Structure 1
Amino acid sequence: FNQLLVGQNPNKVISKDTDSLDVLKDTIPVLIDTLEMVTDTSGVLDSNTIFKPTIDANITISSDSVVDQVVYGSRDSNYMDVVNNQIHLYGNAFVEFQDMKIQGAYLIFDFNTNIAHAFKEVDSLGLYMDRPTFTNPDQEFNYQELKFNFKTQKGIVYDAISKEGEFFLHGNKTKFLSKANDTLNLDDQIFNENAIITTCNHEHPHFGIRCSKLKLVPDKLAVLGPSNLEIAGIPTPLFLPFGFFPLLQGRSSGLIFPSEFTYDKDLGLTFRNIGYYFPISQYMDVRVLGDIYTNGSFATRVQSSYKKRYAYTGRVELGYSRIKRESSIDGSDELSTSFSIQLSHRQDAKAHPYRSIDGSINLQSNQYNSRTFNDFDNVFENKLRSNFGFRHSMPGTPFSFSMTLNHSQDNRTRKVTVTLPNINLNMNTIFPFKRKNVGSNDEKWFEKVNLKYSGAFKNFVQTTDTTLFTQAVFDEMQYGFSHKASTGASFRVAKYFNVTPSASYEELWYFRTLENQYNSELLFDTISIDTIPLTGQEVVNQDTTFGTFSENIVGGFETFRKFNSSINVSTQIFGTKTFQKGWLRGIRHVIKPTIGLSYAPDTRAKYIREVSTDPNEKFVDPLEYNPYQGGIFSAPLSEKAMSFTYGFTNQIEAKYFSKKDSTEKKFKIFNNINVNGNYNFVRDSLKWSDVRLSGNTTLIKDITNLNFAATYTPYLKSDNRSIDETVWSRRGRLLAFDNFSATFNTRMTFKKLKAIFQSDNKSDDKKDIKKGNKTKKKIEAGSIYDLLEKFSINHTYQVAVRRIDEVDTLMVNVHSIQLRGRVQLSKNWELTVGNIAYDIKNKSFI
């Protein structure tokens, strides 16, 4: 072996033709200077004098040597076995030859055979540590053990792991053949024995295709022999006689093989998802896919994905299907066509500071998904929604603009609702009278007046998926404008009172409204036709209808205007009682009373319309209706209202003395207790409203939430209906009880439950609690507590009391318990239990 090996010492040179005994006798050879000094004819040596090396032409190169130098080294140590002509390298050892590199914990290089033998490192417990690697420009192997011949460039790798494209290849025994010394092959070849191909990146994959033999051409193709699917190390009955896996890097046009072969008694044999792939550019690609049925039906889809970094990403899919089935009535062909438009687009947050376009569209006709696909998700997908829009924040102004498409579709009822466009112009709250460069202390009352505006235009239609994009859609389309403006202010009066006046105005423009019509014609409806047995004469049974109603959408410009105003006054009242001794050290009660006056004009009398119900004037009983019902904007009609409103919000807190840390601590008795009602000046009767009381608090260390509500009425009742007679006039009281309800919601996790059962009264545990540490009693691994640690129990109990015919009736409305959580089966597997609920009241599972 006369090829030079370059190691850690560049001055150390070993030749195969040199006798090993001579090497032992004289380990420091005399280096002969091969550089001759070129004589300067001028006799003067310059600093730029060039020395020319002299090459000994008598040195011959063995035909068995490798064609290039081999570089080796190690981090820890190495020693030379002169007898066997080997070098042993320890600790991050490596051997490099041309563009190939071997790394391992322990490495032996044999100069006689040109073979490098690498091993995996084993720690003091006998466990394998980091896996060694073998790399070349085409692939990288992780292995347990490796043998590689640098001359023939062939290698054997044991327990190798390599990555090709999106796949990970695990081989029990792998043979590597380099293309460098093989005149018959233009590519490197890898042969695997007892291999598994998978997309799982774990060292021990959770799933994959196990094959006895595998041939791999890097970056091109993997060919499998007989193989079967393996899950969690367990073989399955799913068997493949052979398989081909393309391993091409990058994108290129090519045929897409069918992903499914199915059979349907009506459609015949199906070849699904056959097509072609086109990489348009580095930002975009296109897939043309189709489904072919042997009965003549077909479906086609065009899919395109696009992405530009820091700009946008999205996907577009257009689908069309033409399905032919045989009629069950007369055997004729029934054709059904449908289409689908799907779009998703997301703009990167860094693309533009104040303008964005994003959203998704999922629009189908004639139940496209359920007719084209046969999987569960598509067949039983009943709700489809779309929301796609353009938004502009309009910097430098108080306005923001948006234009969106909104769509909802129900495949069960076949109803489709589309709003296109939905344009909104919103103005943030401004203070139009506020002066510039003036401090808050010098602020005048008129500077606190604010103004807000919002405008909208909508184009709306409700139709069916079979009439979508037909003339019927345009005939039923509704559109209109909406304007909303509001103003308000907040002033402090007499130091302790906040006064907040406000007013709002709304105006709606309609171009299509509802019109009810009465038809007084006599209509005959045939119910049945009977035959008289003896004479054979037919008897026609008819039902007569006199007068019918019809609802029509008519065109024309209509407006709806609504105005309301209010003024409210609020303050806060504090009450505190302290104690110097005992456990209870203080109680604090905060009352926040609010009174107000509101006014709204009558819109019912102004906009309500009537339609006659009888052509006879003696029986005039007109039917009233709202012409804006079902319109583009909601316009509920209401009577005139001028009301006095009142409300009280109460918060009750307490302070107690803790003997554990000798400090006073706060807790809330009630988070809030609300009391409110109103008095309407313009009503002809029952001017006082019911008094409503509500509140909530927490119990048992915040484990249970209590919500309660009660209603008291100022009027007497007859047949459970209020009459215009006060409780005060009959009973000498202001209010009478009407109803009460309380709901207890308790949520307890098994982790918290375990902590409660593990707690004891030992002083050590108490000290830990004082320090804020959570002391836990050790439980053996794998116990039932550990298995259910991520579970929670929810208990709901609702009780109500209602006064019916002057008798209070107690009833339990809800009493149920729910269990939900997760079970950690292993490090990589988890079982989720969504909801197990039992109705204790009705004694049944929910």
Structure 2
Amino acid sequence: MGSNGFKNTLHILIFLIFNNFLAQNAKDSLKGKNTVTDAATLKMDSLKSDSLLKTEKISAVVKTKADISKSDIPKKMTILHKNASVVYQDTQIDADYISIDWNKNLIFARGKINNKGKIISPVTTTQGEKKYETESLNYNYKTNAAIAYNSRTEESGGSIVANKTKKVNDSIYYLRQGKYTTDEYFLNKKDSLADYYMLAPRIKMIKGKHNSRVITGPVQMYIENVPTPLVLPFAIFPFSEKRSAGLLIPTFGEREDLGFFLNKLGYYQPIGEHFDLKIYADIYTKGSWNLRPEMSYKKNYRYSGNFTAEFGQTIRGIKGLSDYSKVGTYRISWQHQQNEKANPYFTFSASVDASSMKFYNNTLNNTNIFNGDVLNTQQNSSISFTKRFLNLPLNITGRASYSQNFATGLANLTLPDLMVSVNQFYLFKSKTGARSGLLENIYVNTGLSFTNSVNAQQEELFTKAMYDKMQTGIQNTIQISTNTSLFKYFTFTLSADAKNVLTTKTLQRSYDPIKNTLEDHEQKNISGFSTFSTAASIQTVLYGMMTFNKASKIQAIRHMITPSISASYSPDFSASSWGYYKQYYDKSGQLVPYSIFDGGVYGAPSSGLMQSIGFEIKNNLEMKVKSKKDSTGVEKIKIFEDLSIRGNYNFAAEHHKWSLFSISTQSSLFKNKLNVNMSMDLDPYKTEFTPGKDTGIQTDKFGAFSIANFNAQLSMPLSEAIFGEKKDWEKAYDKKGEIRYENYYFDKNNYARFKQPWTLNINAQYTYTKGIMRTGSENFAIGLDASLKLSPYWNISGSTNYDVVTGKLAYTRLGFERDQRSFSINFNWVPIGQYRTYEFFIGIKADILKDALKYQSRNFPTGNSSF
């Protein structure tokens, strides 16, 4: 026999012996003869107490492969080295070194080791769709029990690293010295150190089919590997797409008037599929407290909304001293929106926001300060619905509203306000399909409304005093209009409207000479009035163009004028024949007329005969200039988007036939960088003053044209995008930062270059009111709102208002934000004023913690809430 034949015979013999060994081992296993003991080759002493359980029947073939494979038949061992892999059922182990003890059903795996004995390539275990990394692993392939060292696993956007992990079964894991983080750079292995993590000495991880959760004992937060004071006695981290209950981590800071605080400390609890409940608490060291439950709800493609109730006590000063005060506050808010596609024939919406009069002056929720809500002087609420019909030209609208004025204490409640309106319709059919002429263009609008409202002090609401002041009324309106073209260039319009009103109360007014006051007495009786008026107008458009030679910078100026003239008529409803007005004697003995419907829900009929002609002239002025930046070679500049002058002359008036002349303008200058809106009222009659009196008497002397009112508003929203050309950073610089600084670019001298976006909104408002006063009053305020990114990770923002008349700063806020990769640090500060305060918080940006550890409110169905 040759040498080749001998080698082939030897190979066959070895194969038969090894095959017999595998068959015998499998046979013994099926009979349940083998017992499993903890006999791994690495860290034997530390595993003596960790049993890998008793034997189980093998249910699949163990498949192996490696670059180098050795078998120890007497010891029933297989050694795999380099690119080693073992597959059993749905579990695959890949490592640099693997040993299999067939007698004990144990697999030991170890990562690749460098010259210094350090693991440089981990063991990778894949089970189903999950992947785990460890430095070393002991695994019982029959019971699926395992013990791993320096393991790392990813769960739903988070990573858990533990010194030691014990797998009891496919559902339960125990970890020692576990670190949990959501740092994306660490997850993607761009960085070997997480910028933050939660450290727990002991962790239990429970895995389910659709969700998992981690339960810990004491857990401490580390930032940049530095321990923080944030320690929780326990924590539960859910790994699921479903909502989970969790703590609401607060902000902290100090307010000068109330002391140190914790704001938004609370708890989050999902309720069913469509509801979320959050309960917040605001706590201050000087005794103030506030409780705020919030309920959010949503049903996809149907509706969404939220409900908030807030109540608390604001305590200032020291009890027993003169500066001590205790104020109770409350607020109720409800927002509801219906999806547009839910029901095209019925819509419902609600925007309710009601609070105690002193709520914003004594707010304990500091969000109201930083958002500027404490400056509110008026608050409005409404609930409304609209019903449409498929086969009827009707719309039914219902509304309930509530408004309160914090300055005066007055509240207005309307409950309900109903209106039935008929869709606009034409009286005559068109003969040709295209409507022309006055008759074919006649259309009608009509409706019937019912309202029930009251004006009262807030403390009078829902008391007998409120019901005594309540007023109810019904109103029917009809409007008829038509229009046509005249002489091709003119548009002629005619209109008429009529109104009928019924009310449940009328007014009786008298002068009390003893008290020297006017006495108003409401009469509870059903009464009504009717009014009507007519109007006609004619309008056209005129264009003018001035062109310049081609060498001129200005190429053309275009002026568009839209003049219109109108005439209107309305009877004198204060005449005694109508019965809508009465008279009383004032303190000088003169008769003074008044309407018995004054203060009614639909107002009072107009007094005085109206036979007036009005005019309005609108102007639009634009200019074209040469521009190299525009593809057409010219650029259009708006000088005046709108410049309007209007007024009217009443032929029937005994005095002051001319009204005020109103001038208004709107323009955008410097390529829409500056928006200007101005309005002014000119009084054409001269006002004369007597010595010692500040109020004048208006004469019939025409031509004075003094300023009665003036208002100017300027706004300038600026940003770095407005100035200069856009820069392609990738083309400008060859190098880009790595890992933490990936948003940085580097020039040839290795200096960092980065974008610095900024915004600056400048607004100014000036008002001047004089009327018939000797001296007018003026207000002038300038506001600034700005933000600047000092670097890709540092942002500064702020806003302030300066009162030019008093020379004082009003509401001012400063904010600083630092992006720390997977979390952000924010600091807000109000340095001056009544609400001086500062606030600090750390917010984790990962969605996985939006329920377990929350800071900001959560939006349906998912939100970017943070801790």
Cα-to-partner distance string for 1:244-281 (whole Å, 9 max, x where unaligned): 53869899999999999xxxxxxxxxxx99999996x7
Per the alignment, residue 342 of structure 2 pairs with 351
Alpha-carbon spacing, 1:110–1:408, altered in 2? closer, same or farther (3 Å):
farther
1:379-528 paired onto structure 2 within 5 Å = 386-409=381-404, 416-435=411-430, 438-440=432-434, 443-463=436-456, 468-517=461-510
Per the alignment, residue 67 of structure 2 pairs with 79
Partner of residue 683 from structure 1, selected from 653, 676, 682: 653
Per the alignment, residue 17 of structure 1 pairs with none
Per the alignment, residue 800 of structure 2 pairs with 836
Q: Is the contact made by 2:109 and 2:123 (CA closer than 8 Å) also made in structure 1?
A: no
Alpha-carbon spacing, 1:418–1:81, altered in 2? closer, same or farther (3 Å):
farther
Per the alignment, residue 195 of structure 1 pairs with 179
Counterpart CA distance in 1 for 2:674 and 2:174 is 65
Partner letter of residue 758 of structure 2? Answer: K
Q: Is the contact made by 1:611 and 1:624 (CA closer than 8 Å) also made in structure 2?
A: yes
Post-superposition offset of 1:682: 0.8
Alpha-carbon spacing, 1:233–1:510, altered in 2? closer, same or farther (3 Å):
farther
Cα-to-partner distance string for 1:719-743 (whole Å, 9 max, x where unaligned): 586543445xxxxxxx867699796
Post-superposition offset of 1:836: 3.1
Secondary structure (helix, strand or coil) at the match of 1:474 reads helix
Post-superposition offset of 1:487: 1.6
Secondary structure (helix, strand or coil) at the match of 1:25 reads helix
Alpha-carbon spacing, 1:209–1:683, altered in 2? closer, same or farther (3 Å):
same
Per the alignment, residue 539 of structure 1 pairs with none
Partner letter of residue 243 of structure 1? Answer: F
More displaced, 574-583 or 812-821? 812-821
Alpha-carbon spacing, 1:405–1:623, altered in 2? closer, same or farther (3 Å):
same
Partner letter of residue 433 of structure 2? Answer: G
Q: Is the contact made by 1:66 and 1:150 (CA closer than 8 Å) also made in structure 2?
A: no
Q: Is the contact made by 2:69 and 2:78 (CA closer than 8 Å) also made in structure 1?
A: yes
Cα-to-partner distance string for 1:508-552 (whole Å, 9 max, x where unaligned): 3211344335557xxxxxxxxxxxxxxxxxxxxxxxx55654434
Unaligned runs of at least 5 residues, structure 2: 1-6, 18-22, 37-54, 72-76, 115-119, 188-192, 252-263, 283-288, 321-325, 690-695, 733-744, 811-867
Per the alignment, residue 672 of structure 1 pairs with 642
Partner of residue 155 from structure 1, selected from 124, 147, 157: 147
Counterpart CA distance in 2 for 1:670 and 1:72 is 84
Counterpart CA distance in 1 for 2:533 and 2:238 is 71
Counterpart CA distance in 1 for 2:761 and 2:15 is 84
Per the alignment, residue 598 of structure 1 pairs with 568
Per the alignment, residue 115 of structure 1 pairs with 107
Partner of residue 235 from structure 1, selected from 227, 231, 234: 227
More displaced, 145-154 or 562-571? 145-154
Post-superposition offset of 1:567: 0.8
Per the alignment, residue 740 of structure 2 pairs with none
Partner letter of residue 823 of structure 1? Answer: K
Q: Is the contact made by 1:591 and 1:648 (CA closer than 8 Å) also made in structure 2?
A: yes
Q: Is the contact made by 1:319 and 1:339 (CA closer than 8 Å) also made in structure 2?
A: yes
Structure possessing the higher relative contact order (Cα contacts under 8 Å, 6 or more residues apart): 2
Alpha-carbon spacing, 1:306–1:116, altered in 2? closer, same or farther (3 Å):
farther
Q: Is the contact made by 1:200 and 1:206 (CA closer than 8 Å) also made in structure 2?
A: no
Q: Is the contact made by 1:398 and 1:430 (CA closer than 8 Å) also made in structure 2?
A: no
Secondary structure (helix, strand or coil) at the match of 1:400 reads strand
Partner letter of residue 422 of structure 2? Answer: M
Partner letter of residue 581 of structure 2? Answer: I
Q: Is the contact made by 1:432 and 1:449 (CA closer than 8 Å) also made in structure 2?
A: yes
Counterpart CA distance in 2 for 1:573 and 1:245 is 74
Per the alignment, residue 13 of structure 1 pairs with none
Unaligned runs of at least 5 residues, structure 1: 1-20, 32-54, 123-127, 181-186, 261-271, 292-297, 330-334, 521-544, 728-734, 759-763, 765-775
TM-score w.r.t. structure 2 length?
0.63
Cα-to-partner distance string for 1:399-458 (whole Å, 9 max, x where unaligned): 32222332345688775543222222233322231248x421x74541111111233222
Secondary structure (helix, strand or coil) at the match of 2:720 reads helix
Partner of residue 166 from structure 2, selected from 159, 176, 189: 176
Counterpart CA distance in 2 for 1:587 and 1:300 is 63
Count of paired positions: 696
1:651-662 paired onto structure 2 within 5 Å = 651-656=620-625
Correspondence 1:640 to 2:632:
no
Per the alignment, residue 524 of structure 2 pairs with 555
Post-superposition offset of 1:215: 3.5
Q: Is the contact made by 1:160 and 1:173 (CA closer than 8 Å) also made in structure 2?
A: no
Post-superposition offset of 1:340: 8.3
Q: Is the contact made by 1:708 and 1:740 (CA closer than 8 Å) also made in structure 2?
A: no
Secondary structure (helix, strand or coil) at the match of 1:434 reads coil
Q: Is the contact made by 1:306 and 1:314 (CA closer than 8 Å) also made in structure 2?
A: yes
Secondary structure (helix, strand or coil) at the match of 2:439 reads helix
Correspondence 1:245 to 2:236:
yes
Post-superposition offset of 1:749: 2.9
Post-superposition offset of 1:370: 11
Partner letter of residue 832 of structure 1? Answer: S
Counterpart CA distance in 1 for 2:676 and 2:335 is 44
Secondary structure (helix, strand or coil) at the match of 2:401 reads strand
Counterpart CA distance in 2 for 1:27 and 1:830 is 76
Per the alignment, residue 536 of structure 1 pairs with none
Q: Is the contact made by 2:97 and 2:112 (CA closer than 8 Å) also made in structure 1?
A: no
Secondary structure (helix, strand or coil) at the match of 2:724 reads helix
Secondary structure (helix, strand or coil) at the match of 1:395 reads coil
Partner of residue 820 from structure 1, selected from 761, 786, 809: 786
Per the alignment, residue 43 of structure 2 pairs with none
Alpha-carbon spacing, 1:66–1:551, altered in 2? closer, same or farther (3 Å):
same
Alpha-carbon spacing, 1:826–1:489, altered in 2? closer, same or farther (3 Å):
same
Secondary structure (helix, strand or coil) at the match of 1:446 reads helix
Per the alignment, residue 609 of structure 1 pairs with 582
Q: Is the contact made by 1:425 and 1:454 (CA closer than 8 Å) also made in structure 2?
A: yes
Counterpart CA distance in 1 for 2:781 and 2:708 is 19
Partner letter of residue 147 of structure 1? Answer: L
Q: Is the contact made by 2:532 and 2:570 (CA closer than 8 Å) also made in structure 1?
A: yes
TM-score w.r.t. structure 1 length?
0.64
Alpha-carbon spacing, 1:783–1:80, altered in 2? closer, same or farther (3 Å):
closer
Post-superposition offset of 1:500: 0.8
Partner letter of residue 786 of structure 2? Answer: R
Correspondence 1:724 to 2:714:
no
Counterpart CA distance in 1 for 2:765 and 2:483 is 43
Q: Is the contact made by 1:501 and 1:568 (CA closer than 8 Å) also made in structure 2?
A: yes
Cα-to-partner distance string for 1:725-764 (whole Å, 9 max, x where unaligned): 445xxxxxxx867699796846363515763899xxxxx9
Q: Is the contact made by 2:219 and 2:235 (CA closer than 8 Å) also made in structure 1?
A: no
Alpha-carbon spacing, 1:28–1:802, altered in 2? closer, same or farther (3 Å):
farther
Partner of residue 540 from structure 2, selected from 560, 571, 578: 571
Q: Is the contact made by 1:200 and 1:207 (CA closer than 8 Å) also made in structure 2?
A: no
Per the alignment, residue 537 of structure 1 pairs with none
Post-superposition offset of 1:191: 1.8
Alpha-carbon spacing, 1:254–1:628, altered in 2? closer, same or farther (3 Å):
same
More displaced, 693-702 or 487-496? 693-702
Per the alignment, residue 202 of structure 2 pairs with 213
Q: Is the contact made by 2:336 and 2:351 (CA closer than 8 Å) also made in structure 1?
A: yes
Alpha-carbon spacing, 1:507–1:314, altered in 2? closer, same or farther (3 Å):
same
Post-superposition offset of 1:498: 0.9
Partner letter of residue 351 of structure 1? Answer: A
Cα-to-partner distance string for 1:77-124 (whole Å, 9 max, x where unaligned): 96352368345686xx986544x54587x67543337436487999xx
Counterpart CA distance in 1 for 2:620 and 2:524 is 55
